[in-house]
Structure 1
Amino acid sequence: MKIADLKIYPFQAKRVYSTVTAALGGLANKEGGHSFSDFAVIELTSDEGVKGYGEVSDIPDTMFMPDGTKFTIEQLEAYLAKQLIGKEAFQIEELLQGYPEKNMVDERPDGTVYDIVGCGVDNALLDLIGKSLNVPVYNLFGGKKKDKIWVSWVVYIRGIEYLEAEIAEKVTEGFDAFKLKVGIDPKEDLERLRIIREVAGDKAVIKLDANSGWTFDEAVENLKRMEKYNPAGIETPIPYLDVEGKAKLKSRIGMPILEHVHSPEFGLELLKHDAVDVFNVSTAGAGGMFKARKVLALAESAGKQCLLGSTVECGLGTASQLHLAASSSLITWPSDLIGPKMYLNDFLTAPHVWDQNHLLVPDGAGFGVQVDSELK
């Protein structure tokens, strides 16, 4: 089955509120936060007329093309057409070898790299293959091990006056796990954690995420104050690339350390220093399901538990994450797949289905979701 055509469609999704996270040095990652996200939808058509779709999620305004020119949808379409048209779709590993492309990634201030284009290509290929074989994508990776995925509601940094109502609403919806973004104002972080614990109750799972916002000493001090509210773990407490620092911190605090692992190489470095307890894996980070499975295999060999992180995908990207989680027994922590509730609009014909705090894994050929024809 060869790829006969490729088209890319732009899409912009509005967030329910402007989201703020910390960055290196405890500053806001972006002044005013993010009120919307830009996406690109890759459409592959086979020589048999089958179509597969992949999502390039949450495109930053700092991304460039491989030649250093400014990223545009038109240039991406021309670039991927040269890479993919005429190629055998089943040769997925060979087709993904060119990703991540150095300039064409979402690189965060702390050095975290999300291969969002590679992920979109991976997803489009897998959706195409699944539809051509008339099987769900999870069946390409050993079958479905679970029907629904536990999700933690992500609580971004904003005014405390909004927090109690937000958490109460999510508790009413059935959420019993939360991820609290911290790292800018220690006193406010502590108060926000207190409110979540009070509203959500003693049994709620509350993860913290400092987004590289603290120094080592700040992390020790801040986490010591937060212990009384029993957080389940801390993600990226100090600069992302400071592996030795996290190993040292791990011996100083009384809670698990969670970290984004987007490649087996970085995972091996973390394991070498015994620096983390839980792997945060994502399709957007690793460059798609195919590569994310390799990170999960590494976690399995080391006996590490996992969760699925997120760059806040729309419906198609969320579907690929759900198929990844469904095909793995390692996803035991609540995952951060809040896109279906964080965006006011989407490009799927039908929304994802929730069972309180769980997202149902879509069945059907490919990723089991349909792209709205109006996108085109």
Structure 2
Amino acid sequence: MKIVDLKLTVVGVPRHTGFVNKHVIIELFTDEGLIGIGEMSDFSHLPRYAVDVSDLTNVLRSILVGKDPFDISLINQELIGNFPEAMYYYEKGSFIRNGVDAALHDVCAKYLNISVSELLGGHVREKIKVCYPIFRHRFLSEVEGNLATVRKRFNQGFDVFRLYVGKNLDADEAFLDGVAKEFGSKVTIKSLDFSHLLDWKESLRAVKRLSNYSFELIESPALANDFDGLREFRTRVDEPISEHVWSFRQQYEMIKRDSVDIFNISPIFIGGLTAAKKAASAAEVAGKSCLLGTTQELSIGTAAMAHLGSTLLNLNYTSDPTGPELYVSDIVKDKITYENGYLNVPSKGVKGLGVELDPDKIEKYRVDDLSWGKVTVHQLQDRTSECSGEKLK
């Protein structure tokens, strides 16, 4: 089997809060008539530069056309040579590699008439516990809206929530107090997620202030790539510490310093299923647990993570992928599904990723490019809608 061509389609899908996230859908065409699909998820991150999709298409054609899609390791080696790791959380080269790698896995699994999870090693679980995100408070006035989100999602079966903290501690405390009083033990706060907003000493002061409330773990409580600071923070708190993996060098430094308890692994940030599986294996060798992170993908990217998570032996904590629940629609015929706070893994009988593009929805949400035009840096940082002022991840 050989790759004969590829196609990139940019879509802009609104979230329920108003912000339009842009994604690139990749289709790989083969001489066997099979098509592999992948998702370069959520280019709506800083830095604000936009990838030129025409140029990217030409570059990827030069790398992929004529290749056997089963040469996944060799293709990934060439991809990382063209889109290298940059020790940066939102490096767009990782997004690109992730989409290509998912499409490779999809088409190879289809050729073998198996699911991507079987290609990755086989199911050890049929569903993955996930949490719903509560986005960072900027003002006290936003607390009631976030409590309303908890009520709504709790009624839909989500009983675990992840709270972004650190911008307004008065509001963070008021929210946690409201959840505790209204829901008690029926709702769990999975984590306080600082997202590298504060240095480790500031995060420590914040955690001490919020420690009257129950939460399971703490995420990203130091500035990005401050491995020593992360270690210092970890020695001063009782809760386990989680950090994202966005390069193998970064993961090596965290393992060497024993900086974390849990590796937050997401294909979008490490550059694909191949790299994510490797990062999870490195964590397992180091005696560390994993959870699946997210950039809030559509159903293609979420399906890829579901297949990955179904194969991980050290996936010991509640994971994050709830992206399809945040958007007003999707670009596949049947969205990935959730039930009682769990992400359902596509069944063993599916072929490839188990999702199929919907041409009508693709056409509805198609946009010309990835440019952000008049969107401000502040809006991109906080995922704010210009008209509503509401926050998004």
TM-score under structure 2 length normalisation: 0.85
> Partner residue of 1:8?
8
Which of the pair is proportionally richer in strand?
Answer: 1
Q: Deviations over 1:116-168 (max 9, x none)?
A: 10000000100010111110001112111111111100110241120221111
AA of the residue aligned to 2:354: G
With over 3 angstroms needed to count, the CA separation of the structure-2 counterparts of 1:62 and 1:172, relative to structure 1, is closer
Q: Deviations over 1:242-285 (max 9, x none)?
A: 10011111111221111001333222211211111111000101
Q: Deviations over 1:330-360 (max 9, x none)?
A: 2121111111100112100012222120111
Counterpart-to-counterpart distance in 2, 1:150 and 1:61? 26
With over 3 angstroms needed to count, the CA separation of the structure-2 counterparts of 1:90 and 1:345, relative to structure 1, is same
Instruction: Quote how far apart the aligned CAs of 1:98 are.
Output: 3.1
With over 3 angstroms needed to count, the CA separation of the structure-2 counterparts of 1:175 and 1:62, relative to structure 1, is closer
Counterpart-to-counterpart distance in 1, 2:256 and 2:86? 26
- Contact 1:164–1:199, Cα closer than 8 Å, also in 2: no
Q: Deviations over 1:101-122 (max 9, x none)?
A: 67788986xx554611000000
Q: How does 1:190-205 map to 2 (within 5 A)?
A: 190-202=173-185, 204-205=188-189
Q: Deviations over 1:205-261 (max 9, x none)?
A: 431101111223221211011111021111111202110011111111221111001
Q: CA RMSD, aligned part only?
A: 2.1
AA of the residue aligned to 2:176: L
Match of 1:136 among 107, 115, 119: 115
With over 3 angstroms needed to count, the CA separation of the structure-2 counterparts of 1:332 and 1:199, relative to structure 1, is farther
Q: How does 1:179-258 map to 2 (within 5 A)?
A: 179-202=162-185, 204-258=188-242
Counterpart-to-counterpart distance in 2, 1:370 and 1:337? 19
- Contact 1:264–1:298, Cα closer than 8 Å, also in 2: no
Match of 1:296 among 280, 300, 304: 280
My pick for the range that moved more, 208-217 or 311-320, is: 208-217
AA of the residue aligned to 1:2: K
- Contact 2:293–2:320, Cα closer than 8 Å, also in 1: yes
Q: Which runs of no fewer than 5 residues in structure 1 stay unpaired?
A: 19-34
> Partner residue of 2:17?
17
With over 3 angstroms needed to count, the CA separation of the structure-2 counterparts of 1:104 and 1:15, relative to structure 1, is farther
AA of the residue aligned to 2:128: I
Corresponding position: 1:85 with 2:71:
no
My pick for the range that moved more, 280-289 or 96-105, is: 96-105
Q: Which runs of no fewer than 5 residues in structure 2 stay unpaired?
A: 364-393
Counterpart-to-counterpart distance in 2, 1:101 and 1:36? 31
AA of the residue aligned to 2:158: F
> Partner residue of 2:53?
73
Corresponding position: 1:362 with 2:341:
no
Corresponding position: 1:54 with 2:33:
no
Counterpart-to-counterpart distance in 2, 1:70 and 1:268? 30
Q: How does 1:227-376 map to 2 (within 5 A)?
A: 227-363=211-347, 364-374=350-360, 375=362
With over 3 angstroms needed to count, the CA separation of the structure-2 counterparts of 1:284 and 1:40, relative to structure 1, is same
- Contact 1:145–1:327, Cα closer than 8 Å, also in 2: yes
Instruction: Quote how far apart the aligned CAs of 1:6 are.
Output: 0.7
> Partner residue of 2:131?
152
> Aligned to 1:38, what secondary structure does the other structure show?
strand
With over 3 angstroms needed to count, the CA separation of the structure-2 counterparts of 1:15 and 1:297, relative to structure 1, is same
> Aligned to 2:60, what secondary structure does the other structure show?
helix
With over 3 angstroms needed to count, the CA separation of the structure-2 counterparts of 1:60 and 1:355, relative to structure 1, is closer
Counterpart-to-counterpart distance in 1, 2:2 and 2:85? 27
Identity of aligned residues (%): 32
